């Protein structure tokens, strides 16, 4: 049996690199642990002592505001010391290798690295070379994976729908280039939803997309029929000028989520988006700000889910702390 780099010998989380290879039980444990942190935001003192004395370094080689901020908040709410590296001014910009960067930071006794990089596989590379006891969390690598985003999306679905069995979920947009979509598809299938649909133009579908365990649709309203969850993806505007898409206007006309298009989904369907939203391209403001939108819930849930993943990777959770008290 092939060893899973993400797990220790007891099957506990050590690194969090991708959804692939993880069990349904482990994903549910992440979601249930996140639930224990949800109420923390409403307290006067928004902190738990689980990672007190630990040092967490955020290594964002790729620009991100929302993801980096929620990771930083999650670490601070766990009472960790947080180091945010200015990568653009760091030694890597001067030619230092990733391995040298890792080794130098480990020499400063960091306990966890949250890594975001434009190249697929960077987080796995760090995990392969990390010292014993050091955890690596993948905050997005190339087109490969964005597992913490997928898990906060799963938490949002669980919170609003009460479970996963029997659900039909549609993911709409640029499937081919989306690391978020790949991680969502793996998570949804592991957690046992009834059906995962991907909707978008053929030019934005990966080759052999159905091997991922999805049903492909190239027409929006047909794909949305009777779905319980609609996940819209961010469309990068720079691709609008390539042969993939003729114009923003045409994309919105064919695949933008309006109130009329949403009416083809189940009446109680929820609308999600990993952000930031391109309003008037991916969806209308009426949908983004409407009663079926849970987009701001996703942002709030991201803090609790990332707290859960960090505490589990450091093998200290609320229940374990209570047993040691």
- Residues 103-115 have pLDDT tens digits of 888 898 999 999 9
Of 146, 158, 148, give the one whose Cα is nearest residue 304: 148
Q: Does residue 10 fall inside a structural domain?
A: no
Q: Verify that 196 and 261 share a domain, yes or no.
A: yes
Tokens of 200: 């978008």
For 121-153, how does the pLDDT look when each residue is reduced to its tens digit (9 = 90+)?
A: 999 999 999 999 999 999 999 888 999 999 999
Give the model's pLDDT for residue 243.
61
Q: Verify that 69 and 155 share a domain, yes or no.
A: no
Strand 135-141 with 81-84, pairing: unpaired
- Yes or no: say if 264 and 225 are a contact pair by the CB < 8 Å rule: yes
**What value does the mean pLDDT of the chain take?**
89
Q: Which domain holds residue 199?
A: 147-294
Q: Verify that 93 and 178 share a domain, yes or no.
A: no
Q: Does residue 6 fall inside a structural domain?
A: no
Q: Does residue 9 fall inside a structural domain?
A: no
Mean pLDDT of 20-45: 91
How large a percentage of the chain has pLDDT more than 90? Answer: 69
Question: What pTM does this model have?
Answer: 0.91
Q: Verify that 212 and 254 share a domain, yes or no.
A: yes
Mean pLDDT of 208-214: 91
By residue count, the chain amounts to 325
Higher per-residue confidence, 271 vs 249: 271
Burial category of 299 from C-beta neighbours within 10 Å (exposed 0-12, middle 13-18, buried 19 and up): middle
Q: Verify that 244 and 116 share a domain, yes or no.
A: no
């Amino acid at each position: 049996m092939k060893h899973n780099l993400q797990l220790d010998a007891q099957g506990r989380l050590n690194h969090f690199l991708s959804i692939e290879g993880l069990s349904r039980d482990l994903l549910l444990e992440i979601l249930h642990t996140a639930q224990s942190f949800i109420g923390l935001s409403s307290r006067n003192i928004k902190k738990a002592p689980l990672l007190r004395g630990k040092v967490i370094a955020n290594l964002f080689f790729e620009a991100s505001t929302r993801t980096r901020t929620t990771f930083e908040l999650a670490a601070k709410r766990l009472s960790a010391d947080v180091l945010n590296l200015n990568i653009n001014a760091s030694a890597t910009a001067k030619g230092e290798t990733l391995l040298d960067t890792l080794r130098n930071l480990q020499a400063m006794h960091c306990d966890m690295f949250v890594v975001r990089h434009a190249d697929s596989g960077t987080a796995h590379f760090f995990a392969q070379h990390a010292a014993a006891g050091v955890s690596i969390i993948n905050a997005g690598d190339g087109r490969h994976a964005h597992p913490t985003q997928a898990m906060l999306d799963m938490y949002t679905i669980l919170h609003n729908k009460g479970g996963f069995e029997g659900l039909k979920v549609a993911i709409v947009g640029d499937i081919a280039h989306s690391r978020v979509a790949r991680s969502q598809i793996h998570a949804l299938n592991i957690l046992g939803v009834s059906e995962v649909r991907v909707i978008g133009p053929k030019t934005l579908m990966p080759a052999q997309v159905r091997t991922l365990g999805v049903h492909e649709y190239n027409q929006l309203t047909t794909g949305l029929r009777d779905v319980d969850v609609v996940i819209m993806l961010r469309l990068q505007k720079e691709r609008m000028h390539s042969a993939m898409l003729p114009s923003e206007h045409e994309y919105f006309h064919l695949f933008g989520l309006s109130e009329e298009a949403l009416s083809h989904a189940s009446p109680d369907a929820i609308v999600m988006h990993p952000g930031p939203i391109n309003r008037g391209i991916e969806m209308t403001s009426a949908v983004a700000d409407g009663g079926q939108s849970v987009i701001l819930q996703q942002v709030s849930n991201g803090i609790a889910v990332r707290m859960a993943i960090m505490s589990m990777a450091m093998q200290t959770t609320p229940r374990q702390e209570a047993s040691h008290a």
